[in-house]
Amino acid sequence: MPEKRYKNNVHLIFHLLKGSKRYFILSIVFGWISSLLDLVNPRIISFTVDSVLGDAALGIPVLLTDLLRRIGGLIALRQHLGLIAIGILIVAIISAVFRYTFRVFSAKGQETMLVYTRNLLYEHIISLPLSWHNHNHTGDIIQRCTSDVEVIREFLSEQLLTLIRMVLYIVMALYFMLGISIPLTIIVSIFIPIIILFSVFFHKRISTSFRRVDEMEGQLSAVAQENLSGVRVVRAFGRESYERARFEKKNTEYTGRWDHLMHLLSLFWSCGDAIAGLQTLLILLVGAHFCLDGSLSVGGYIAFLAYSAMIAGPVRHLGRVISGMSRAGVSMDRIRYILNAEPESRIKDSREPSAFMHGDIEFDHVRFRFAEDEPLVLDDLSFTCRGGTVTGILGSTGSGKSTLMDLLCRLYDLSPENGTIRIGGQDIQSIDREQLRKEIGIVLQEPYLFSRTLGENIAITRSAPDMDSVKAASHIAALDDTVSRFAKGYDTFVGERGVTLSGGQKQRTAIAQTLLRKTPIVILDDSLSAVDAETDARIRDAMQHMDTHATTLIISHRITSLMHADRIIVMDKGHVVEQGTHEELYALGGFYRKICDLQSPDQVA
C-alpha cells in the first residue's frame, strides 16, 4: 500500500492552513489582547469600591500610583467619579476594537482556508482513478466536500480559535483571582478539570454518533442525487411511490440518528450547566462568608464574582468545544479518506505522443479483471489494429468490448504480467495519461452533455474553436439538419445531461465533439446505437472522407455499422474468436455469420 499523504488529522490541519496561517495567528494575538482588556475592568471596579469609596490600601502598580498622584490622588477621584467611568468606557472601546480585528482576521483566515480546501479536494478528486469513483457514491463525495468541509471550517475558525483564546482567558482570570482570594480560586480551579474530564467522557460517544450521522447523510444525499439525475426514468416507469418510500426510509434513519445524537448532546450540555451552576453557588456562599468575617473586601468580592461570571461561560463552553471537536474529527477523517486515495500516476515522457499515435494499436496477451476476487473480463487477448484503418469490434454483452477501450485510454492500468498495449510500438504504460488522452477521441454509448447551449457542448473539447469548425464537425456528425430546425440553432439550451435532446441527437452531438478535436485515434463505443441506419451510413461515409488518417475503432452490435470496416474483431467472453473482413468472416459461417443472418441477411450477405 502507498504511504498515506496525511497520517493524522493534525497533519491535515497544518496543510489546510497553508496560506491562511498568518490570519489565524493575528486573530489569536488580537483575541488575547481583547481578553486581557476585558479582565481589566473588574480590577478598576474593585479599586473604586475598596480604595476610592472605601479606605483600603491602593494595591495598584507603581506606574498607576504615579499617574494617580499627578491628577490629584484619591481625593480628586472621589470628587470626579466620572473619570473612572470614562476610564472603564475607554478600556471597553479599545477591547471592542481588538475584538473586531480578531473577528476580521478570523473571517479572512477561514475563507482563505475554505477556498484552498475546496480547490485541493476538487483537484484531487478529478485525478483519482475510475476504479475509485466506481466504489464511491457521488452523493457521498459531494456531502464530504460540502458539509464536512463546512464542519472543518467552523472548527478551525470558531472552535479551535475559541479554545486557544479561552485557555489564555481562563489562565489570566485565575491569575487575577489569585490576587483577590486564594481559597475561592482553589474552588474555581477544582471545577475546571471536572468539566474537562466530564467532556472527555462524552467525547468518544458523541464522536461515534456524529460519524453515524455523517455516513447516513452521505447515503441520503446519494439517494437524492440519483433520483434527481434519473427523474425521467423514475417517471417513465411510474416508480415515484417506490423512490419516495426509499427516500423517506433513509430520511427516517437519518432523523433517528440525529435524535440519538441530540439526546447525547442534551445530556452533556445540561450536566455541564449543572456543574457550572454548582460552582457559582459555592462561590456565592463561600465568598459571602469571607466578606462577613472580614477576610475579603466588598470590592474584592464584587471583582471575584465578576471574574467568576466571566470564566463561567468559557469553562462551560470549553466542554462544548471538546464535544464539537468530536464532529470535526469525524469530518477530517472523511476528508482524509479522499485526500489519501492514490491518484492516477503521472509519467512525464520526453517524447510527444503525436509522433507515434498514428501507428498500429496492438493488444498483446492482455488479461484483465476489475478486482482480485472477480472473474477475468479479458483473457489472453491479442490483436492488432493497423494505423489509419477502421477496425470494427463485435461481441455479445459482457464480452469485454468497452473494457478494451477503457484500457486503451488508461482509465484502468495493466500490470506487466497481464500483457501489453502498444501504440506505434510504444507501451502506453510509459505514456503520460494526460498526453495519451489528448490524442484519443472517444464517443460513448451514453454521452454526457452539460447544462449549456448546443454549440458550447460541441466546442467543449477545444479551448477556443471557431464557429466554422463547430459547423463542419456537426455536418460530419449529421447534426446540422437537426440544428437548423431549432429556433435558436447552436444557441439552443440543452438542459442538464442534454435532457431536451433525443438519444440520437445526444450521440451525434458527442460525435461532433470528438471530431472537432481531430485526434489520431477515434473510438466510437456503440455510439450509433440510437441513430437510424440511414444516418449511421451517412456519418460513416463522411468520416471515411475526412482527411485525418485517423485510426478508428467502432464498437457496435449492428452489422451494418461494421461491415465496411477494414478489419472486424469478433469477441466472446473476453476472447477473440474471429477476425477478418466482412466477406472473410461471413464465409467462415461462424459466430459473425450467425449474427448477420439474425439481423438482416438480405442486407449483409
The CATH number of the domain where 290 resides is what? 1.20.1560.10
Q: Identify whether 23 is part of a domain.
A: yes
Which of the pair, 574 or 345, is modelled with greater confidence? Answer: 574
Judge whether residue 322 has pLDDT over 50.
yes
- Please state the rounded mean pLDDT for residues 93-106: 88
Give a yes or no: residue 426 inside a domain. no
pLDDT for 438 beyond 50: yes
Average pLDDT over residues 437-447: 82
pLDDT in tens, 554-582: 888 888 888 888 899 998 888 888 899 99
Distances 97 to 31, 34, 41, 93, 170 between C-alpha atoms, Å: 10, 8, 16, 6, 21
Residue 354 confidence (pLDDT): 60
Q: What is the pLDDT of residue 362?
A: 92
Residue 245 lies in a domain: yes
> Is residue 1 pLDDT above 60, yes or no?
no
Q: State phi, psi for 562 to the nearest 5 degrees.
A: -110, -20
- Quick one: pLDDT band at residue 46, thresholds 50, 70, 90? low
Separation CA 418–CA 359 (nearest Å):
22
Total of domains in the chain: 1
- Please give the Cα distance from 339 to 128 (Å, whole number): 10
- The answer to whether residue 212 sits within a structural domain is yes
**Does 52 score more than 80 pLDDT?**
no
Give the pLDDT mean for 223-245. 76
Region 174-182 average pLDDT: 81
366 close to 33: Cβ distance less than 8 angstroms: no
pLDDT tens column, 143-160: 888 888 888 888 877 777
- Side-chain half-sphere of 420: how many Cα atoms within 13 Å? 10
- What is the pLDDT, as a whole number, of residue 412? 86
pLDDT band at 447 (very low <50, low <70, confident <90, very high): confident
What is the CB-side half-sphere exposure of residue 220 using CA atoms within 13 A? 17
Least confident of 70-74, 104-108, 393-397, 509-513: 70-74
The H or E element that residue 517 is part of is helix 503-517
Task: Please count the residues of the chain.
Answer: 605
- Decide if pLDDT at 473 tops 80: yes
The residues facing 363 across adjacent strands are 383, 421
According to DSSP, the β-strands at 521-525 and 426-427 are unpaired
Q: What is the mean pLDDT of residues 270-283?
A: 80
pLDDT at 62 over 50: no
Could you list the residue range(s) of the whole structural domain that residue 125 is in?
A: 9-339
Query: With contact defined as beta carbons under 8 Å apart, do 340 and 220 qualify?
Result: no
Tell whether the model's pLDDT for residue 479 goes beyond 80.
yes
Determine the pLDDT at residue 452.
Answer: 82
In the prediction, which pLDDT does 272 show? 74
User: What phi, psi does 448 have (nearest 5°)?
Assistant: -105, 120
Average pLDDT of the segment spanning 260-269: 83
The span from the CA of 431 to the CA of 425, in Å, is 12
> Using an 8 Å Cβ cutoff, are 408 and 361 in contact?
yes
**Residue 374 lies inside a defined structural domain of this protein:** no
Given a cut of 60, whether residue 59 has pLDDT beyond it is: no
Residue 228 lies in a domain: yes
pLDDT reported for residue 136:
83
Q: What is the chain's mean pLDDT, rounded?
A: 79
- Which positions ≥6 away from 88 have C-beta within 8 Å? 41, 44, 45
Asked whether residue 427 is domain-assigned, the answer is no
With respect to residue 118, please indicate whether it lies within any of the assigned structural domains.
yes
pLDDT score of 119 more than 80: yes
> What average pLDDT does this structure show over 158-187?
79
Higher pLDDT, 588 or 3: 588
Q: 82 pLDDT exceeds 50?
A: yes
Alpha helices in 340-423 (DSSP H): 401-408
